Amino acid sequence: MRSRSLVLFMLLATAPVLTAAAERPEVIALNQRLATLQSDPQLGEFAAYEKLRAQQSVAALAKARSRDRESAQILADRRVEIAETTARAESARRQSQRLDRTRSELLLEASRREAMRARQEVERLRVQTQIQAEEAERMRLAAETEALARQDFEDALTSVTGKQTQRLTAAREKEAQLARQEAELMSGAKLPASRFNDRGEVFSLGSAAFESGQAQLSSSGTSSAAALAAYLQAKPKASATVQGYGDKQTPGQRRADALRDALVEAGVARNRLKSVAKGDGTQSRAVEVIVSQ
């Protein structure tokens, strides 16, 4: 607003000179270009300094003597062109920033919705599995009086339970994948590699996650901790066990505590976390984070 007021002030201050030079078409043309730029609803708020310098050059052209008029016109033309180009560039940059923000918001919202659908599917399958388990138990008790019938039933139960467990596992992996995408979008960092086993989802951090010979997290370890914290916040019902593996200089418990404290500092409730020491670590395994429902 201050820059716009300054430009208007300069326009008013140079009005007498411009009136005196009204017979000069080059001055009129340049002033019309500046007026058009100033009144443009998309460009008028930008390039205040460049427009001020252009107005000063036009005013100088209006007052220039014949011998100086050519160089003054070249300068005025150049500065008006700079003001127009700068205003268009600033407007385009502002629009690009708005588009980038909108794209990020849309991606995040889509990820959240997909994660919610995945969690609902996991819950539906869990209830369905529980119902089937209860029904299977009822059938097993009814078939105990006949050994052959019991064996046939147990074979069928194993098949049904195996298929249902596979579906439940697939749904949980889908939920984890969507939570991973949301966490990486929120934190701006990549999650460590993970695998699934009977304990849950296991993330492994190598020795590069810590400063050499210390339990303090390195820059890459801090980035991984931020991504893990966002991942746990995307899975509010999950808990995590941080297992530390030591070496000759750093006990495993100190490594586990350092990562746990970083997760708490990033917003994860302490009662959802547990840190324990394990055996000796390797270059590829200094800490493991086990996430379970």
Give the CATH number of the domain where residue 224 resides. 3.30.1330.60
Number of domains in the chain: 3
CB neighbour burial string for 70-106, b if at least 16 within 10 angstroms, e if fewer = eebbebbbebbebbbebbbebbeeeeeeeeeeeeeee
| Domain around 65 | 2-97
- C-beta separation of 199 from 239 below 8 A: no
DSSP three-state, residue 288: strand
Q: Which whole-number Å values give the CA distances from 157 to 123, 126, 243, in the listed order?
A: 21, 17, 36
Which pTM value belongs to this model?
Answer: 0.47
pLDDT tens digits, the chain, 293 residues: what are they? 445 544 453 454 444 444 444 458 999 999 999 999 999 999 989 989 999 999 999 999 999 998 988 998 999 999 999 989 998 999 999 999 999 999 989 898 988 888 888 888 888 989 888 898 888 888 897 768 677 667 765 766 666 677 776 787 677 777 777 878 887 888 788 999 999 998 899 999 999 999 988 899 999 999 999 999 999 999 999 999 999 999 888 999 999 999 999 999 999 999 999 999 998 989 999 999 999 97
Q: Based on the fold, state whether residues 258 and 199 are members of the same structural domain.
A: yes
- Of the residues 97, 132, 154, the one at which a domain ends: 97
- Neighbouring CB atoms inside 10 A of 200's CB total 18
Q: Who contacts 40 (Cβ-Cβ below 8 Å, separation ≥6)?
A: 87
Q: Based on the fold, state whether residues 198 and 280 are members of the same structural domain.
A: yes
Q: Who contacts 218 (Cβ-Cβ below 8 Å, separation ≥6)?
A: 208, 209, 210, 211
Q: Based on the fold, state whether residues 14 and 85 are members of the same structural domain.
A: yes
CA distance 76 to 78: 5
Q: Based on the fold, state whether residues 281 and 237 are members of the same structural domain.
A: yes
